[in-house]
């Protein structure tokens, strides 16, 4: 082989080797971001329980909220729906939907997000809002009112890694807790204490 040909051959091998290293690093990083098999199962179980909750709610006559611009009427409809939900699940307790396995999976997802490059933005977004106090969270209880302040929304970057919820349910952050809120009833369905790192 002539020297120039040898040099080109070495350069191609170097580029190929470097590309392979980058792909392996990316692949390892991607694999580290994926939930474990047990976490996937726990998250699927959580999603199934959420669907059961929504199906149960739809069977309640009080679920049929009538559109209104009257705040008093809307508040009364919410109370009626909340009372019907409480009657339908009188023994509901923390951990029914966020089972220990699901809570562990959610904590892992949240920790991954908070330690990512986007974590600083998420923390800043949460710090600017007026979160509900976690001590006020109670399953079947009213989602805490912050004295007329709007309910804190969850930053989109944080939501991206969480399971999708059916219409009417939403995730809310209360201090370090993650709550599952029924928006129509303004009710805490379940919550994970100390969910955020």
The pLDDT tens digits of the residues spanning 99-140 come to: 999 999 999 999 988 888 877 777 777 766 655 566 789 999
pLDDT at 185: 93
From CA 151, how far away is CA 173, in angstroms rounded?
Answer: 9
Look at residue 85 and tell me whether its pLDDT is greater than 50: yes
Q: Which residues pair with 172 in a beta bridge?
A: 179
* Residue range 3-26, pLDDT digits in tens: 555 444 444 444 444 443 433 333
From CA 177, how far away is CA 6, in angstroms rounded?
Answer: 62
Average of per-residue pLDDT across 161-185: 92
Question: What is the length of the chain?
Answer: 197
Furthest C-alpha separation in the chain: 89
pLDDT at 33: 59
* Average pLDDT value for the chain: 80
Side by side, the strands of the sheet bearing 177-182 are: 169-174, 177-182, 187-192
Average of per-residue pLDDT across 75-88: 93
Look at residue 59 and tell me whether its pLDDT is greater than 60: yes
pLDDT at 108: 94
The H-assigned helical ranges of the chain are 3-33, 37-58, 71-88, 100-114, 119-128, 156-159
* Residue range 170-179, pLDDT digits in tens: 999 888 899 9
Tell me if 153 sits within 8 A of 196, measured CB to CB.
no
In this predicted model, which residue has the larger pLDDT, 11 or 33? 33
């Amino acid at each position: 082989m002539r020297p120039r040909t040898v040099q080109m051959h070495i350069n191609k091998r170097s580029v190929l080797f470097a590309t392979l290293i980058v792909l392996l690093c990316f692949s390892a990083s991607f694999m580290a971001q994926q939930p474990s098999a047990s976490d996937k199962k726990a998250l699927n179980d959580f999603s199934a329980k959420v669907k059961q909750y929504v199906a149960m709610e739809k069977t309640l006559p009080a679920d049929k909220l009538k559109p209104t611009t009257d705040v008093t009427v809307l508040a009364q409809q919410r109370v009626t729906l909340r009372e019907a939900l409480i009657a339908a699940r009188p023994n509901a307790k923390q951990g029914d939907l966020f089972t220990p396995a699901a809570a562990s999976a959610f904590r892992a997802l949240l920790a991954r997000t908070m330690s990512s490059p986007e974590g600083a933005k998420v923390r800043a977004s949460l710090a600017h809002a007026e979160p509900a106090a976690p001590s006020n969270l109670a399953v079947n209880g009213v989602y805490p009112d912050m004295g007329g302040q709007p309910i804190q929304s969850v930053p989109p970057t944080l939501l991206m890694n969480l399971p999708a919820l059916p219409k009417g349910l939403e995730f809310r952050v209360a201090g370090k807790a993650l709550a599952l809120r029924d928006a129509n009833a303004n009710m805490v369905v379940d919550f994970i204490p100390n969910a955020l790192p």
